[in-house]
Structure 1
Amino acid sequence: MEVIFKLKEGRRYTIGALDISGNKLGATNPVFTTEALQQVVTSPSLRRGAYRPEVDRFITGEAFATVALDAATEKLREYYGQMGYQNIQVEALRAPNFQTGAIAVTFKIQEGERFTVRSLDIQGNTKTRSTVIARELALSPGEVFDLARVRVSEARLRSTQFFKEVRLVPVPSPVPNQSDLRVIVEEGSTGSVSFGAGYSTVEQLVGFVEYSEGNFDFTNPEGWYRGGGQKFRVKLQAGSVSNAFEHSFEEPALWERELAVGYKIERRYTGYSSANYNVVNEGVGVYVRRRLFGNVEGRIAYDLRRVSVGDVTPTAPLDVQAEDGHPKTISSVTLSLTQDTRDEFNFPTKGSRLSLSEEIAGNGLGGSLDYFRTELRTGKWFLLSQTAEQTLGLIGRVGTIAGSGGNLPFYERFYLGGAYDMRGFDYNDVGAASTWDTTNGNQPVGGLTYGYLSAEYTIKAADNLRLAAFYDYGFVNKEAARFSLSEANSDVGVGLRILLGGAVMRLDFGFPLQTTINPATGAELNTGGMKFNFSFGTVF
């Protein structure tokens, strides 16, 4: 049976004149004048990404759409809500002109009273201390009941990853023009004891045992040392080419202030860099970090490390042989700024992350080396379609090192290649011809400047599974501050992203496109066809 739908489209209506009524506060407060409120309606939302771009402004002369009118109405509620007007009511009254096809709209407002926060009512925290929850809130008793800051508080609590569910709701109180803020949480799993064996293309066969607790409390033995919001981790790892010990601790709110302090202790033996030498890296570090404003965090760290090179054979690169029997002590301070607006850590669909760091080694701090290491890292994610959560992620990095007369040891230089960046190449095998030692075969020795760009498209196949397609582009140059692209490398590939135990397992098949040519022989230095990479963790 054939069904035919006959449509009569009619005329297309546009947005006519816009007016505001009922805004009595505008008589004494300029932020509530008709002109100011019209600007709210015609401008993008204060909450970036809250509405689709095509409906995020309501302007005279543009096509009339009900969803855009609803968005404009909600933006007025949000605007008043930021000033503490919880009971604001907005009604959009339409007046169509059938001759011109324009629909005039009057936003009728009932402002209500301004509210402040009377008290906090925290519920459901059977494990986490109330003070830990309260310090994540962006508003406190006595302040204006800003609904925008309520949303920020909710996002902060979710980002701690302490809770399965988080809800913040205003609750009426017996005091006029005051409301209580009720915080309702459901505790989640924050600790893990894990052990096992596995294989990665970087570290090959490896076994490990690890204990971590993201909501640690060393003052609470009765509660199994949980609930204080501290971070504790210890890990032992042994493998066919490497072994390591790592321990770290962080107190996120020293003296109940918005100031985090932490330390780390580590020792790592690494043989996978090459079959003809090994590197032992051991040291301690302490740091202080603090949220400066909004989503921007500042961090200052001091690290003291000792690095030694051993078991060097005559076939090792000359730069490696030069370090044999000459251990170096590195004393450095690192300053960094980070902004993170991602909606999710493992599988982000929108938002961005930006990090700028400057490491200063030696130069009055002691140690064997003097250098300045500058690095910028950025990532941006776009939700292309709600269908199967199709997402595009763009990641960029750039860095350079100056100092030590340009003779920085090979283990402090920049490298690209392998599971964590250029996935179509072997580990550390990306770089200009000048970053390779060809005296004993072709072996990379790193450079003082690098750049990296990656585009990755993912599509949701199941709750904990994503399919991926990617393109990587990068360069490593020998000289400091040399950002030439003349010997850049690139690759394409496909992969899987599987969420296991809170970490993402990444399986990638990469295919090199642009490779590095040895100018003396005309042969490729870093080819070898398709590469398979297997790793855990989020890449940024």
Structure 2
Amino acid sequence: MYLPKSLAAIAALLVSMAAAPAWAADPFTVRDIRLEGLQRVEPGTVFSTLGIKAGDNYSDERGSAAIRALFELGLFKDVRIDTDGNVLVVIVEERPTVADIDFVGTKEFEKSALQKALREIGLAEGRPFDKALADRAEQELKRQYVSRSLYNAEVVTTVTPLERNRVNLTFTVVEGESARIKSVRVVGNKAFSESTLLDLFDQDSGGWLDWYTKSNQYARSKLAADQETLRSYYLTRGYLEFRIDSTQVAISPDRQSLDLTLNITEGEKFAVAGVRLEGNYFGREDEFKTLVAVRPGAPYNGEDVAATTKAFTDYFGTFGYAFARVKAEPEIDRTSNRVTMVLKAEPARRVYVRRLNIGGNARTRDEVIRREFRQFEGAWYDGNKIKLSRDRVDRLGYFTEVNVETTEVPGSNDQIDLTVNVAEKPTGSLQLGAGYSSTDKISLTFGITQENVFGSGNYLGLQVNTSSYNRTISLTATDPYFTKDGISRTLNVFHTTTRPYYEADGNYKLASDGGSVRFGLPVGELDTVFLGIGVERYSFTPGTNGSYTLVDGSYVYTGTPQAYLDYFKCTGTAPSVVCTGSNVVGIPATVGWSRDDRDSALVPTTGRLQRANLEVGVGSALRYLKTDYQYQQYFALSKQYTLAINGQLGYAKALGGSTFPIFKNFYAGGLGSIRGFEQNSLGPVDAVTGGSLGGTRKAIFNMEFSTPFPGAGNDRSLRLYSFFDAGNVFADRTASMTDAQWKAQNRIRASAGLGISWISPLGPLRLAYAVPLAYQKADTANGIAADRTQRFQFQIGTSF
């Protein structure tokens, strides 16, 4: 029979009472103590708990106390004390030890999550087995399933005895079907319609995508989050006294469905009469007033009040007052429905940080997190630096959660410890892309990256493109802290074989090999300046299947675009074309700048991203300048809707009287540029082959409006978006170009369409169906080729 630990004292008393006649004796002096029945428990544990040692006087009362103390250890299911002359004999029967815990039939939870839940109630491998604890484990497992709406889950415990007084525990689970939300109601609303309020909730009665979103699966945590969303909605619209009176969850008799009802009281709508500061502000009232987000005359807004108190607390933190308290107390005038906000400040005491602790990083090294911190150990507490440090760690992209906790140091009134708790996420990603055209057929791109190699914070990436016209392999490695001051270093090596034109009968190619090194210098907390230099070698092989043809009084080679033949100084006739400049070596030097303050790299809703880059060919035959600038801005129109705009500008020219290298031209078209057109197909084209030549100037504009995917509720991992793209690439007018060709080349291309954005297990997946709005049709009379359109495109790991 197993006795629960909580009944140890009663059991000990009963045992001592039952056994008393057997060993009751007159007090005597203990000469020695002998232990019997021990298997795994250390003898020292028994001796230290017994409370009796050799040389002590023994009595029945001391024996009973010793039995109770041993039972309270929770290690024994039976304890007896006997005597052998003046020797005290302690006889114990140990509880079996748990050798292994297994789960059968669990699909909803990972086994590690269930093991953690049982460990928290005291049941784990290597610990003593307690039947009462096993019963608690069954109830805990059922509770875990109830939290996932699996009300019919059944748990059966099987105990298998093993040698050496051990047992295996097997929990067999029949999960059953999860209870689905049949309906959600809000009762008591007057100012807003029920449908408006229900649109705020992440839980609903489901739709045709509920198999993916699981929005109709009830969970207490989700309900609590929806209640806070509802409360926030009213408090930000002047309803200061709004409250949720009750929440009713009615489960059907078969426990397969439930109805949710929220009973609310809206109260009156209030406007702000004014704001008043009270308390100790160290004579800096004017500085604190600039932080007030509450505006007199406007409707009461709970978010503005919370933002103000937080701003005050953070500002106190910049002076070292980590425990400053700021309370917002409303003075309500019910006759006019106006409220005066009184902000009372208690700075408390100034403290400094003793130690910075890191937790939750099983893979990432401590130093990767520590080097992002701007709050140093031994320095005065600075709230701004701590927030900045937390944001810097979050922007690494290695963690799903980053939290900073403040703990007072025991015995000190001016020291605190900071603990950074992180939750790691997989940092490797796979990128796949595909496109289809009549000439290139199916082209694939492949990339594999690891942003946190071996937990070091370093980046390693491999990119491969299998297109018939643009085959690439590139390897990139980045050390973000090449120096302890935060200067990054990026190494890149690549090999490409390019046939950037779409006529296959020329079989020409441009091969390039090279490498580069680039350093990133942090300037401030959001800005980074990049400096780099590289070496590139270009090798051109003209086509062998073409011939020279008389065009407009001049002979041109039909197997290779004339622009390439001119640049690489090619003469002769196929197949004996000779290019005296077919091998070119370049040394590009780059200077760049970036600033990124978006709230998320994967699903941004606010903030902006800016990039600028200048590339100059130096110290070689390639003398040129090439610069480009990108600007992205995100606007959160509401919780469901986001507007995003993107703009790119590029400009390039030759230096020192040389010819601009044609292979450095800008290209446009396709995903990441102007959707609805084949990749890199826009801009000037070769008069004979019809292949795209690119241009020395680029202008692109994109706009996206993102909405919830129908049936997916507020799930941000699956979104529907509409878009409008416009732009083109441009080049200087050549002498042989007619007015009609010039106008066609410089006309802006545009497209619009719909797309789906999904944060898939392989990375961000974007599908787009575009309809070209402004495009070039074929004009044979003027020698103008039609644009190559491509309405359906998709890619994993791209933006815009």
TM-score, length basis structure 2: 0.57
1:374 aligns with 627
Does the 8 Å contact 1:430/1:526 carry over to 2? no
Does the 8 Å contact 1:374/1:400 carry over to 2? yes
Residue 446 (1) aligns with residue 668 (2): no
2:647 aligns with 396
2:426 aligns with 189
Residue 415 (1) aligns with residue 678 (2): no
1:233 aligns with 461
Aligned to 2:452, the other structure's residue is in SS state strand
1:44 aligns with none
Query: 1:66 offset after TM fit, Å?
Result: 4.2
Match of 1:304 among 535, 538, 547: 535
Query: 1:166 offset after TM fit, Å?
Result: 2.2
The alpha-carbon distance between structure 1 residues 123 and 465, as it changes in their structure 2 partners (threshold 3 A), is same
1:249 aligns with 477
Point out the more displaced range, 105-114 or 240-249: 240-249
Does the 8 Å contact 1:515/1:525 carry over to 2? no
Match of 2:298 among 53, 59, 62: 62
Q: Which amino acid aligns with 2:273?
A: G
1:334 aligns with 590
2:617 aligns with 361
Q: Which amino acid aligns with 1:36?
A: E
Query: 1:242 offset after TM fit, Å?
Result: 4.4
Aligned to 1:142, the other structure's residue is in SS state coil
Does the 8 Å contact 1:319/1:409 carry over to 2? no
1:200 aligns with 435
The alpha-carbon distance between structure 1 residues 66 and 265, as it changes in their structure 2 partners (threshold 3 A), is closer
1:77 aligns with 313
Residue 88 (1) aligns with residue 88 (2): no
Match of 1:427 among 668, 672, 679: 679
The alpha-carbon distance between structure 1 residues 273 and 344, as it changes in their structure 2 partners (threshold 3 A), is farther
Does the 8 Å contact 2:463/2:475 carry over to 1? yes
Match of 2:747 among 487, 490, 514: 487
Does the 8 Å contact 2:730/2:746 carry over to 1? no
Point out the more displaced range, 273-282 or 114-123: 273-282
Query: 1:240 offset after TM fit, Å?
Result: 4.3
2:493 aligns with 265
Does the 8 Å contact 1:201/1:534 carry over to 2? no
The alpha-carbon distance between structure 1 residues 143 and 383, as it changes in their structure 2 partners (threshold 3 A), is same
Does the 8 Å contact 1:417/1:430 carry over to 2? yes
The alpha-carbon distance between structure 1 residues 505 and 210, as it changes in their structure 2 partners (threshold 3 A), is closer
Does the 8 Å contact 2:642/2:705 carry over to 1? yes
Point out the more displaced range, 341-350 or 12-21: 12-21
Match of 1:294 among 493, 517, 525: 525
Match of 2:416 among 168, 171, 179: 179
Does the 8 Å contact 1:214/1:232 carry over to 2? yes
1:383 aligns with 636
Q: Which amino acid aligns with 2:694?
A: G
Does the 8 Å contact 2:705/2:721 carry over to 1? yes
Distance 2:427 2:363 in 1: 10
Query: 1:259 offset after TM fit, Å?
Result: 1.3
Query: 1:486 offset after TM fit, Å?
Result: 6.3
Matches within 5 A, 1:307-326: 307-312=538-543, 313=546, 314-315=557-558, 316-322=560-566, 323=568, 325=579, 326=582
Aligned to 1:430, the other structure's residue is in SS state coil
Distance 1:445 1:6 in 2: 64
Q: Which amino acid aligns with 1:318?
A: Q
Distance 2:375 2:745 in 1: 49
The alpha-carbon distance between structure 1 residues 73 and 469, as it changes in their structure 2 partners (threshold 3 A), is same
Does the 8 Å contact 2:436/2:790 carry over to 1? no
The alpha-carbon distance between structure 1 residues 204 and 302, as it changes in their structure 2 partners (threshold 3 A), is farther
The alpha-carbon distance between structure 1 residues 121 and 83, as it changes in their structure 2 partners (threshold 3 A), is same
The alpha-carbon distance between structure 1 residues 63 and 209, as it changes in their structure 2 partners (threshold 3 A), is closer
Distance 1:456 1:357 in 2: 25
Report which of the two has the higher share of strand: 1
2:796 aligns with 536
Deviations 1:249-272 (A, max 9, x none): 222212433111121111011235
Does the 8 Å contact 1:115/1:178 carry over to 2? yes
1:350 aligns with 606
Query: 1:307 offset after TM fit, Å?
Result: 1.9
Aligned to 1:306, the other structure's residue is in SS state strand
Match of 1:25 among 275, 278, 282: 282
Q: Which amino acid aligns with 2:719?
A: R
Matches within 5 A, 1:443-482: 443-461=691-709, 464-479=717-732
Aligned to 2:651, the other structure's residue is in SS state strand
Aligned to 1:360, the other structure's residue is in SS state strand
Q: Which amino acid aligns with 2:344?
A: K
Aligned to 2:330, the other structure's residue is in SS state strand
Question: How many residue pairs were aligned?
Answer: 495
Query: 1:115 offset after TM fit, Å?
Result: 2.3
Aligned to 1:86, the other structure's residue is in SS state coil
Matches within 5 A, 1:123-202: 123-174=359-410, 175-191=412-428, 199-201=434-436
Query: 1:248 offset after TM fit, Å?
Result: 1.9
Distance 2:427 2:299 in 1: 50
Greater relative contact order (CA < 8 Å, ≥ 6 in sequence): 1
Aligned to 1:444, the other structure's residue is in SS state coil
Query: 1:493 offset after TM fit, Å?
Result: 1.4
The alpha-carbon distance between structure 1 residues 141 and 479, as it changes in their structure 2 partners (threshold 3 A), is farther
The alpha-carbon distance between structure 1 residues 143 and 520, as it changes in their structure 2 partners (threshold 3 A), is farther
Q: Which amino acid aligns with 2:767?
A: L
The alpha-carbon distance between structure 1 residues 475 and 278, as it changes in their structure 2 partners (threshold 3 A), is same
Distance 2:188 2:331 in 1: 34
Distance 1:339 1:198 in 2: 27
Does the 8 Å contact 2:701/2:726 carry over to 1? yes
Aligned to 1:119, the other structure's residue is in SS state strand
Match of 1:39 among 275, 282, 290: 290
The alpha-carbon distance between structure 1 residues 160 and 73, as it changes in their structure 2 partners (threshold 3 A), is closer
Q: What runs of 5+ residues in structure 1 fail to find an aligned partner?
A: 27-31, 42-56, 217-225
Distance 1:467 1:5 in 2: 31
CA RMSD across the alignment = 3.3
Deviations 1:202-259 (A, max 9, x none): 875467886643222xxxxxxxxx1222222345665544433322222221243311
Aligned to 1:420, the other structure's residue is in SS state coil
Query: 1:40 offset after TM fit, Å?
Result: 1.3
Query: 1:97 offset after TM fit, Å?
Result: 4.8
Q: Which amino acid aligns with 2:435?
A: S
The alpha-carbon distance between structure 1 residues 234 and 527, as it changes in their structure 2 partners (threshold 3 A), is closer
Distance 1:76 1:448 in 2: 52
Aligned to 1:355, the other structure's residue is in SS state strand
The alpha-carbon distance between structure 1 residues 101 and 507, as it changes in their structure 2 partners (threshold 3 A), is closer
Question: Max radius of gyration: which structure?
Answer: 2
Distance 2:521 2:442 in 1: 38
Distance 1:111 1:320 in 2: 72
Match of 1:515 among 764, 775, 782: 775
